[in-house]
Every structure is written in C-alpha cells, then in structure tokens.
Amino acid sequence: MSWDAPTGTLADLCDEVVTLPVEASEVVFRGKVWDVRRDRVDLGAAGVVTRDLVEHTGAVLVVGLREVEGVDQIVLIRQYRHPVSSFLWELPAGLLDQTGEPPWEAAARELAEEVDLVAARWDVLADAYSSPGGMTEAVRIYLARELRPSPQPHDREGEELDLRPTWVSLDDAYAAALAGRIHNSGAVIGILAAWGSRAQGWRTLRPYDAPWPEHSAYRP
C-alpha cells in the first residue's frame, strides 16, 4: 500500500542512470530528423518487453534574463508547431546536432541565432527528459545573464523567418505557466525553475559545464 510506503528525503530524490540488458535492437523507421528504434529489453522480474522509441539528439534551451528598472525580464519567442497545431510561447532553443559542440556552446549559438543576443554569464538551471516513456530526448536549460545585442544579427530563414522576440517579466511568465497559458514543456520547466531559483537567491544554479550523464553522449 502506498500509504505505508517509507518517507524519503532530499537525499533519496536522485534519478539513477542504468542500462538494463537489451536482447535485440533494430531501427524500424528512418525519418528526416529522427529515427525509431525497437528494443527488446530485459526488465528482470517484469520479464522481457519490446519498446519502440524515438532516437533524439537532445536539446538545449535558454532563459535569457535582464533587469529593466528593477524588473526581471526574460525573452520568449512565439513559434508555430505543426504536430500540436498551435502557436506556442517558447524559450530560445535548439538541437544538439553538431558533432563535438559542447552543450553550453550550442545554447549560446541558439541564443544568437534565434533572438540576436549574447550573454557573458551562463549557468545550468534545470535538466529534464522530454518524454522518457517514448524518446531519448534529454534537455538542458540554461540561465543566461549579462545580456547584450549580438554584434552580427542572424539572417533567419525557413520556419524561423517569423520568429519575433518578446520581453516579459519573469513574474508574468510564471503566472502564465501556472495558469495553463504556456504549454511548451521546456518553457514551463525553465520559467518555473528560474522563478524558484531566484526566490532562493540563485543558490540552486550549477556551473555551465556541470556533468550531464543523463544525456548518453556525455556519460563518463
């Protein structure tokens, strides 16, 4: 019974990266961006199960923060997402699809490409899995501060052509996330994490190059 389950503490709350035995693995679909892999994995007492999963490169997101007349503001973008038929408010973000590029450099590149900003101060704000039941995507969300305009504005094209940055107070973004007005999961996590970290004097921040073993490419 869950009512009688033990009571844990902060020390207990840490996800564990493990690799259970995989008896067979094959790519059953190759897509334009991502592939679908089918694994037969041994769960021990639960037996051997077959799981289809999307192989994803992972992504980085950026909470770009500035202060204007004593008010903390973050930059958001509004972008159309066809799978959910919606224009979504999102954080500047991008895929980890360039071989050998460290995650924080990818985050800086995306900040410049999507909203024409550069930052002098970077910290890790939060890490997450987008949908761990069906895809490998691991995301890392950075807090970027000491912002300034990029010396060379990026020439956007394609689906990024209509991106328009908007500054909003962190408090308003927090209220919008709690009210169900923002639905991009990375944006919701980043906004809530930034608001919560600020409430604790930013003590929860981690170095920009903090270990990230949850992403398969950065495990020891």
Supply the pTM of this predicted model.
0.93
Q: What is the pLDDT of residues 76-103, one digit of tens each?
A: 999 999 999 999 999 999 999 998 899 9
Q: What is the 3-state secondary structure (H, E, C) of 105-167?
A: HHHHHHHHHHHCEEEEEEEEEEEEECCCCCECCEEEEEEEEEEEECCCCCCCCHHHCCCCEEE
Residue 69 backbone class (left: φ over 0; alpha: ψ -120 to 50; beta: rest): left
pLDDT of residue 157: 64
pLDDT of residue 116: 94
Q: What is the pLDDT of residues 152-197, one digit of tens each?
A: 876 766 666 677 899 999 999 999 999 999 999 999 999 999 999 9
Active site residues: 160
Domains of the chain: 2-55 (no CATH), 59-218 (3.90.79.10)
